[in-house]
A and B are shown apart, each in its own frame.
Chain A
């Protein structure tokens, strides 16, 4: 029961705090939230864009959740996503092949790059007991600077970006665009849904998934029962990185069809922490929380246009929801107080 209770309360708190902030900044919360909801459901185009926003969020959420299941916190999804984005686009630009080969190859390129970026902190954690959080944060910056330098040196086409990928590596979908009033929705959405299924399958239906969960639950007991904890740590971080890398590939092959020089992070990786946390690290939960956060970001644009509320309100609400989910102790405490009062009567 609590599995659903805490996230819902946290969402409620988050939106309530958002309403108070709107009140204090001289906006009408009702108008603001109506504009927000309209920005998601009001038009097929908006709805398509929301689904499009979900794609990288689902992948980064899965990436965080996968590491979390092994008892690891992967703050490096951002960097893994950036290298995945870059690698997929490079494959999409430099190779010429029929789509049936080219597209999977480009996605695989993203996955491999992300996996490599996850492998390093995994290896350091397993072999040298280096805490993965700091290493992954540092790897984020290394990823951004290296990718920027590579684009600048070898792939800069016009302005701050690379050339467009070949059509044979594109995820763009005329069909999906057409039914959503020509939004940027692309085939990556189908892949994201499949990724949710894959995550569920890997974790709950395979032997190594069982080991991953077991190691996350109790490292000592797992080692005692003969599981190789170190291999599991490295594998979990690599798989996590691969998911993040594919998330980046979705941006590179679907949403933008190019890579660009980043002046700051995309924030998809950090949002992934929120998505995984709110989704309780399970596949269905991640899908819905990705929809919530994708919708918040999409709706925020409309909120600015129609109700003149600064779009950063969405970031504030997301941050507060993370606080409330992370502080579920508070919600549990209030709940237990209420329970004991009931019993006292």
Chain B
């Protein structure tokens, strides 16, 4: 029993930390896809976020912001992510490009542009490592709760809590505000929404830019907490895993949260399974492919049918 608890004390915080970037990026994708714009470009937005998060942190460190630097870096990632997502927005909304092709191009562009700048500035394929890292903290009071306290509220990054607060905000915005209603109506039936006087393209621009902001934040948090620097290999597939979480969570913020935590668990397990008796027998590859297999099964209706927004991937 004590052994199991000890394992959980290691795994649960690791899983929550791993799920944080996925969760934020998936929530970003939710805004875009609820407005009817497919966002295959989440990966690219995370790349851009990781890049600007690290470069921003290095910059603010150098001008003496100290431990505020990573937070300023994250802010930079939010802004640059939103601006960068305009490529996808302009191409797929105003210029009526195929949304999927435009998203693929966005992924290419993000990697090309960020690594290009890194090579020009740092004269190598990766940036310097940031020194002002975030620290894992114990939450006052909550971490004192027996069992649960050490599992969920100890040695965790503040960004993880931020992500869970964002879930509640996104849920409220999407389902309880006029803005959310408009956004959803544009994604379900743009023509009807247009008839009611809602500016379809403007709502879609906002949706895509929010995905850029949150995807940028997700990428920055991954880079700052987990990687510590930026190179072409920093973001490899996390954006697509976030997309998987969004679909597996049925385009619902709480669903996406559940899926992101689950995928985070799979990631944490695949890394630390070797130390856990009983689990070390399972080949790591099963854990690695789990999110992707589950998404296919969810889409096929074997894990409950996932119904996408009706006007998804349609230009208006």
Distance of A86 Cα from B233 Cα, bound (Å):
22
The interface centre, meaning the residue of B240, B247, B299 with most chain A CB atoms within 10 A of its CB, is B299
Contact with B along A22-36 (1 / 0, CB 8 A): 000110000000000
B293 to A133, Cβ gap below 8 A? no
Q: 22 A-B contacts, Cβ less than 8 Å apart?
A: A73-B101, A130-B299, A133-B40, A134-B247, A137-B243, A138-B292, A141-B237, A141-B240, A142-B293, A149-B284, A149-B285, A273-B104, A274-B105, A310-B119, A312-B116, A314-B112, A315-B108, A319-B106, A326-B102, A327-B91, A329-B97, A330-B95
Contact with B along A131-145 (1 / 0, CB 8 A): 101110111011001
Q: Tell whether A319 pairs with B108 under 8 Å between CB atoms, given A134-B299, A138-B293, A313-B116.
A: yes
A322 to B105, Cβ gap below 8 A? yes
Q: Which of B101-153 contact A (CB under 8 A)?
A: 101-102, 104-109, 111-113, 115-117, 119-120
Question: In the complex, which of the residues A130, A277, A327 contacts B95, with contact meaning CB atoms closer than 8 Å?
Answer: A327
Q: Which of B55-111 contact A (CB under 8 A)?
A: 87, 91, 95-98, 100-102, 104-109, 111
Task: Give B287 Cβ to nearest chain A Cβ, in Å.
Answer: 9
B244: CB under 8 A from chain A? yes
Give the residues in chain B near A310, CB-CB below 8 Å: 115-116, 119-120
Distance of A40 Cα from B306 Cα, bound (Å):
48
The interface centre, meaning the residue of A25, A138, A270 with most chain B CB atoms within 10 A of its CB, is A138
Distance of A313 Cα from B236 Cα, bound (Å):
20
A179: CB under 8 A from chain B? no
B115 to A312, Cβ gap below 8 A? yes
Give the residues in chain B near A326, CB-CB below 8 Å: 91, 95, 97-98, 101-102, 105
Task: Give B295 Cβ to nearest chain A Cβ, in Å.
Answer: 5
A148 to B293, Cβ gap below 8 A? no
B112 to A130, Cβ gap below 8 A? no
Give the residues in chain A near B116, CB-CB below 8 Å: 21, 25, 310, 312-313, 315-316
A323 to B102, Cβ gap below 8 A? yes
A94: CB under 8 A from chain B? no
B interface, how many residues as a size bin?
A: 35 or more
B101 to A318, Cβ gap below 8 A? no
B283: CB under 8 A from chain A? yes
Give the residues in chain B near A264, CB-CB below 8 Å: 232-233, 236
B168: CB under 8 A from chain A? no
A263: CB under 8 A from chain B? yes
Q: Which of B288-304 contact A (CB under 8 A)?
A: 288-289, 292-293, 295-296, 299-301
Task: Give B246 Cβ to nearest chain A Cβ, in Å.
Answer: 10
A148 to B104, Cβ gap below 8 A? no
Distance of A323 Cα from B105 Cα, bound (Å):
6
Q: Which of A131-168 contact B (CB under 8 A)?
A: 131, 133-135, 137-139, 141-142, 145-146, 148-149, 153
Task: Give B5 Cβ to nearest chain A Cβ, in Å.
Answer: 31
**Given contacts A124-B299, A315-B112, could you give 20 more A-B pairs where the C-beta distance is less than 8 Å?**
A25-B117, A26-B120, A124-B296, A128-B301, A131-B308, A134-B299, A138-B296, A149-B283, A149-B285, A264-B233, A270-B107, A274-B105, A274-B108, A315-B109, A315-B116, A318-B112, A322-B104, A326-B91, A326-B98, A326-B102
A142 to B97, Cβ gap below 8 A? no
Task: Give A56 Cβ to nearest chain B Cβ, in Å.
Answer: 17
Contact with A along B36-63 (1 / 0, CB 8 A): 0010100000000000000000000000
Q: Tell whether A315 pairs with B105 under 8 Å between CB atoms, given A21-B116, A134-B295, A263-B236.
A: no
Give the residues in chain A near B91, CB-CB below 8 Å: 323, 326-327
Q: Which of A256-311 contact B (CB under 8 A)?
A: 263-264, 270, 273-274, 277, 310
B296 to A319, Cβ gap below 8 A? no
Interface of A is mostly: helix
Question: In the complex, which of the residues A128, A148, A263, A319 contacts B112, with contact meaning CB atoms closer than 8 Å?
Answer: A319
Task: Give B131 Cβ to nearest chain A Cβ, in Å.
Answer: 25
A273 to B295, Cβ gap below 8 A? no
Q: Tell whether A128 pairs with B300 under 8 Å between CB atoms, given A313-B116, A323-B91.
A: yes
Q: Tell whether A320 pairs with B247 under 8 Å between CB atoms, given A124-B300, A138-B293, A263-B233.
A: no
Distance of A248 Cα from B300 Cα, bound (Å):
28
Distance of A141 Cα from B289 Cα, bound (Å):
7
The interface centre, meaning the residue of A131, A146, A264, A312 with most chain B CB atoms within 10 A of its CB, is A312
B40 to A137, Cβ gap below 8 A? yes
A67: CB under 8 A from chain B? no
B108 to A318, Cβ gap below 8 A? yes
Closest chain A residue, CB of each to CB of B237: A141
Task: Give A293 Cβ to nearest chain B Cβ, in Å.
Answer: 11
B104 to A270, Cβ gap below 8 A? yes
Give the residues in chain A near B40, CB-CB below 8 Å: 75, 133, 137
Closest chain A residue, CB of each to CB of B284: A149
A329 to B95, Cβ gap below 8 A? yes
Give the residues in chain A near B243, CB-CB below 8 Å: 134, 137
Distance of A273 Cα from B120 Cα, bound (Å):
28
Contact with B along A16-52 (1 / 0, CB 8 A): 0000010001100000000000000000000000000
B109 to A73, Cβ gap below 8 A? no
Distance of A194 Cα from B64 Cα, bound (Å):
62
The interface centre, meaning the residue of A124, A139, A327 with most chain B CB atoms within 10 A of its CB, is A327
Give the residues in chain B near A142, CB-CB below 8 Å: 289, 292-293
A148 to B108, Cβ gap below 8 A? no
Task: Give A312 Cβ to nearest chain B Cβ, in Å.
Answer: 4
Give the residues in chain A near B292, CB-CB below 8 Å: 138-139, 141-142
A319 to B119, Cβ gap below 8 A? no
